[in-house]
Structure 1
Amino acid sequence: MSMRSCLLVMALIASTSACSKKETTVTTDQGKVTVSQDGNKATIKDNKGSEMKIEQGKLPDNFPKDVPIYPGAIATMNAADPKAAMVTLRSDASKDEIAKYYTDELKGQGWKIQASTDLGGLFTMIAVKEQRRCTVTVTADQTQKGNTIAITFEGNVSQ
């Protein structure tokens, strides 16, 4: 499933998250995707057997132990499959405080910072370790005070 298709399906889930159990099939240019939803949880399966789990308000069960969570940040959504994961968090801390924390903490956990960009209202950092890649993006929350932290992983996410 492409990232674009995944994001479209995630938007569909977010817009109907208050619903109880529900199953929907979405047809994209890449095939059919079945979304099974139960409250704040959803499972997405494509016609090739790939599966992704999405849940609101918590970290994924396979969240890597060597990737820190900013102190006081609140998990808002996660999506995970065996080879990749994404977590969004919300924090009242400044972008600069969050960026420094992730730079220092990831280095301390043995990650190598491959790239880092600060564009004023947006901070992005890519870190690598072994056969894994972690991207941290911090953006200003447009609806309320604070920042949104998005962390994505590629590789064996359960390490």
Structure 2
Amino acid sequence: MTETKKQTSPLVYIGIGCLILLFLIGVGMTVFFKFFAKKAIETVIENKTGVNISDAEQGKMTFTDEKTGAKVDIGSNKVPDTFPKDFPIYPGAKVTSSLSGSQTGENSGFWLTMTSSDSVEKVTAFYKTEFAKNGWKVDSTFSANNTVTETVSKSGWTGSLAITKDEEATETQIVIILGQDEK
């Protein structure tokens, strides 16, 4: 008996080649569209909102209303430059988030969150001393379960200070909310 060798049809090779080519085109188009679609979307967002996407990726965003001049800054993990200089900032505290807002010729406001490895008692004692030194009036104080909240005021500014530490937490959280009184 003689063996007959079957020859593979050239159509099979053409079909396999087409599949490989389609796969390579698909991968190439995916990479191409990921890059260019991302750039196109970023450009549209930046143009419509005024937010710089590279800043947003770093955790910072600024929104400005062109009509009113109202401005909101979010992020940057630092005390905003326009934060009242006479409001005490706990030494060594790490700023974990910040938000500031203002409107041209109008009021400003701030929300600042910080953490410290010190106890609630130590942080509270610091603020009690520093508020008195800097002329801030403590209007009310609430204290319960490792949490202290104070409302404060000083010549055109009002706000609150919250100092707290959960039982499981390793750090004390300090939250400052300040706003200018209406002019």
TM-score (norm 1): 0.70
1:53 aligned to 2:73? yes
Q: 1-side partners of 2:148 and 2:64: how far apart? A: 32
1:139 is matched with which residue? 164
Q: 1-side partners of 2:60 and 2:149: how far apart? A: 28
Query: Alpha-carbon deviation of 1:103?
Result: 1.5
Q: 1-side partners of 2:85 and 2:177: how far apart? A: 14
1:15 is matched with which residue? none
Query: Alpha-carbon deviation of 1:69?
Result: 1.1
1:94 aligned to 2:119? yes
State the number of aligned residues.
129
Q: Unaligned 5+ residue runs, structure 1?
A: 1-20, 25-32
2:32 is matched with which residue? none
1:112 aligned to 2:137? yes
Could you say if the C-alpha distance between residues 87 and 35 of structure 1 is closer, same or farther in structure 2, counting changes exceeding 3 Å? farther
Q: Unaligned 5+ residue runs, structure 2?
A: 1-40, 103-107
Could you say if the C-alpha distance between residues 127 and 57 of structure 1 is closer, same or farther in structure 2, counting changes exceeding 3 Å? same
Contact 1:86 1:151 in 2 (8 A): yes
Contact 2:140 2:151 in 1 (8 A): yes
Query: Alpha-carbon deviation of 1:97?
Result: 1.0
Amino acid at match of 1:52: V
Query: Alpha-carbon deviation of 1:35?
Result: 7.5
Query: Alpha-carbon deviation of 1:66?
Result: 0.6
2:60 is matched with which residue? 41
Deviation track 1:61-113 (CA, whole Å, cap 9, x = no partner) reads 11111111111101111100121011111101111111111121011100111
1:96 counterpart SS class: helix
2:150 is matched with which residue? 125
Which one has the bigger helix percentage?
2
1:78 is matched with which residue? 98
Runs of 4+ with >6 A deviation: none
TM-score (norm 2): 0.61
Q: 2-side partners of 1:87 and 1:143: how far apart? A: 22
Query: Alpha-carbon deviation of 1:40?
Result: 2.1
Which protein has the larger Cα radius of gyration, Structure 1 or Structure 2?
2
